[in-house]
Structure 1
Amino acid sequence: MDKLLELPVIIFVSYLVLLAAGIQEGRYVKHGAHYYHHISNEIVNKTIETEDGDVFHCIDINLQPALSHPLLKGHMIQMAPTSYPLELKIKSSSDTTAKEAHLPTIACPKGTIPLLQNSKADLKTQLSFDPIGNARHHGGERAGCTTYDEIYGTQVAINVYEPKVRGQNDLSASWALMVWPNYRGDNFARFHIYWQVNTGNMPCFDHMCPGFVQVSKSVGIGGRIQPVSTYNGDQYEITVTISKDPKTGNWWLAYGRDKKPVGYWPPSIFTYMNEKAKACYWGGQVHGPTVQLHLPEMGSGHGAASGPGKAAYVRNIKVINKDSQYSIPGTHNTFSGTTRPFCYDAGDIRFNDDGARLFYGGPGNCTK
């Protein structure tokens, strides 16, 4: 049976995931996680503390954890995509007034990248989290939409909220953005990356496993996203793009409306993702050991029917085809749904020239 890989960008307030098959050699992940926690002071070029108290270490780009992966020995870092997907040649019909949310800018020197200082608790927490596969089987619930196709990337604008989460080990996510009290000891919406080795075995966050090659000297993965949206008030969003480089095969992650390259997953670490993805999911998820006892809020904490300014959304959803062109998901192979209709819902998918759009979420705290 093929192994599954979901390659989401975690804004854990909305959630975007690429589905494909397999990642190479899961046994190396644990080693990589320990490597991260024992970064020697000798390789730290500079240490920066943000206003939120996060500590980032600037280390030589050639000494980053990704390059400890046995399949990346001698890997030559690609500093930028060889090309970018071709935009849709249409006049935007977007009527959104949402503003762009941001990560803190980490001023690392040229030739270095920022790594968020993690604790042993972070490692223990990440190894207990498995959002991949059957959400309910792993104590979680989802509400969102999925498209099935030959996919070479995706782009989405994700509405940023900070849903209330009761259990310290529980989370409410939007894949690219996550509110998870026990992971960093706060209830902030943070920008994470996530991928998984094997089916349900090794979850990988940020740089805690080798594999993701970062090139940005200013984007701090794991950092807080600000400002966040308020119910019936100002709305903020973050744009996330994953695209396959047509020449190198690297899967690039870009952040923001201006698509700043953050880094990439080399195709050599995947068994099937070196070709294409088979599906993509956007929406929300709650997960954790006590989720079913105290179901937390998802998105804004209000259902899809609340509408603009009140319900969380994912919008401008596009997929990238084999010709490296953006396209709008098909109406025939894109579906919305929820695993817990009485707690969370996913509205009807709206298709327009800017892409697909979906409202989702709910208050949780239900018994049905």
Structure 2
Amino acid sequence: MMAVNMFSRFAVVLILVMTAHLFYATGDVVEVMKQLNRLNKPSVKSIKSPDGDIIDCVPISKQSAFDHPSLKNHKIQMKPSFHPHGLNYESMQVSSQKQETITQLWHSKGNCPKGTIPVRRTKKEDILRASSINKYGKKTNQSIVAHTSSTVEPDLVDQSVHAHAIAYTQGEFYGAKATINLWHPQIQQPNEFSLSQIWILGGSFDSDLNSIEVGWQVFPNLYGDSNTRLFIYWTRDAYQATGCYNLQCSGFIQINNEVALGGSISPISKYQDSQYDISIHVWKDPKQGNWWMQIGNEKLIGYWPASLFSHLSDSATMIQWGGEVINLASGGRHTTTQMGSGHFAEEGFGKASYIRNVQIVDGSNTLRVPKDIYPVIQEPNCYNVQTGKNDAWGSYILYGGPGRNPNCP
């Protein structure tokens, strides 16, 4: 009789455990479906890219940006009121660079009609790779901007996780521009990344940092592969609750029907061979106050409305250019994840990664070379940076590194 009672109790406990697992699993499925329905808006056309991406052509007025509470009655601005004027290096011929047009892989299979924007479709497996459903598309650590002052509290600088090799300038800015060398760095494990970008910053590093970020990255955990991809990011509260990559939350308003944010880009530079780069320009419209993004001299991508920000609703106080990697230090050893080309700055052009034609937009809406840029290196034996100037490249940065090596154990 006692054995029967024990079996009955065991059976009840087993049923309760199985029911609980089923409940939580079902709850996760429901939450994943909610996320997918929120992110994947109805499209007029879908394109299967050779890299496995599905690009949905979504009507401009139906994009997820307008889910943001402050944008419910927003009138789309189809072009900026003003472009910055001043020195335009991209019109100069630089014989050492290939002048081919940067393309995205999905272009070979079709295009999105006018009046729509290309949106990389989010898949169930994309969300399930995230640390949690709510963290999908968001940066998971607060300390992901290179701190430039020794007065920053030590607990705010997590150098064991985020390694930077950057140059920066401080002042009052209304935009930034640079031409960034394209590479395909090797990543040690899927939840590490390597990127090269421009940071446009305002506010304090610890709690109310406003940041606009544009560049390229390799991030297997986010995209499901190791392709080099164009990306954007923004936050208004130091990455705590606001902002996301690309179009994975409401905010950034895209107007371009040719460029998919988060999409693979090519061609890519090769060591001691052909070099390719992409010109990125972000500036604040003096009349409307929105922060516009442009690729090259012609492709307006879209804008971050001024209402998304607090400090950047006025101006930026710091611009950074350079590289960043995640170092999870598996087994207590530094990651082998590469930055840029995977080679140090002193190796020079064709070997190290570069950012050339570094410029800022001043209060008169004029592009100019910053008066001074200062290098910041957190792990010089793993990744480093050098700055310089010449007639062809203007102000430039060389940077990168292999990660773990005999001097970076």
TM-score, reference length from structure 1: 0.83
Please list, as runs of the form range in 1=range in 2, the aligned pairs for 1:172-321 lying within 5 A after superposition. Answer: 172-175=194-197, 176-202=215-241, 203-256=243-296, 258-290=297-329, 293-321=334-362
Query: 1:316 corresponds to which letter in structure 2?
Result: N
1:102 maps to what in 2? 103
2:204 maps to what in 1? none
Q: What does the per-residue CA deviation read over 1:87-146, in whole Å, with 9 as the maximum and x for residues that have no partner?
A: 327895855323343334461122111110113454425335443365634711011200
Q: What does the per-residue CA deviation read over 1:150-178, in whole Å, with 9 as the maximum and x for residues that have no partner?
A: 11111110000001001110001102100
Please list, as runs of the form range in 1=range in 2, the aligned pairs for 1:56-205 lying within 5 A after superposition. Answer: 56-88=55-87, 92=92, 94=94, 96-100=96-100, 101-104=102-105, 105=107, 107-123=111-127, 124=130, 125-130=136-141, 131-132=144-145, 136-137=158-159, 139-175=161-197, 176-202=215-241, 203-205=243-245
Query: 1:311 corresponds to which letter in structure 2?
Result: A
Query: 1:267 corresponds to which letter in structure 2?
Result: A
More helix by share: 2
Query: 2:120 corresponds to which letter in structure 1?
Result: L
Gap runs ≥5 in structure 1: 1-32
Instruction: Give the Cα separation in 1 of the matches to 2:179 and 2:41.
Output: 39
Query: 2:117 corresponds to which letter in structure 1?
Result: I
1:362 maps to what in 2? 401
Q: What does the per-residue CA deviation read over 1:21-72, in whole Å, with 9 as the maximum and x for residues that have no partner?
A: xxxxxxxxxxxx9876215988221111122221011111111111111011
Per chain length, whose mean CA-contact separation is higher, i.e. which structure has more relative contact order (CA < 8 Å, sep 6+)? 1
Structure whose alpha-carbon radius of gyration is higher = 2
1:173 and 1:286 in contact (8 A); partners too? yes
Instruction: Give the Cα separation in 2 of the matches to 1:228 and 1:197.
Output: 32
Instruction: Give the Cα separation in 2 of the matches to 1:228 and 1:188.
Output: 10
Q: Bigger shift: 158-167 or 138-147?
A: 138-147
2:387 maps to what in 1? 348
Q: Structure 2 vs 1, CA of residues 307 and 167 (structure 1 numbering), >3 Å: closer, same or farther?
A: same
Q: Bigger shift: 41-50 or 239-248?
A: 41-50
Q: Percent identity?
A: 33
TM-score, reference length from structure 2: 0.76
Q: Structure 2 vs 1, CA of residues 200 and 221 (structure 1 numbering), >3 Å: closer, same or farther?
A: closer
Gap runs ≥5 in structure 2: 1-31, 131-135, 148-156, 198-214
Q: Structure 2 vs 1, CA of residues 260 and 34 (structure 1 numbering), >3 Å: closer, same or farther?
A: farther
Q: What does the per-residue CA deviation read over 1:221-243, in whole Å, with 9 as the maximum and x for residues that have no partner?
A: 11111010000000000111101
Query: 2:367 corresponds to which letter in structure 1?
Result: Y
Instruction: Give the Cα separation in 1 of the matches to 2:304 and 2:381.
Output: 38
Instruction: Give the Cα separation in 1 of the matches to 2:240 and 2:287.
Output: 31
1:3 maps to what in 2? none
Instruction: Give the Cα separation in 2 of the matches to 1:206 and 1:36.
Output: 15
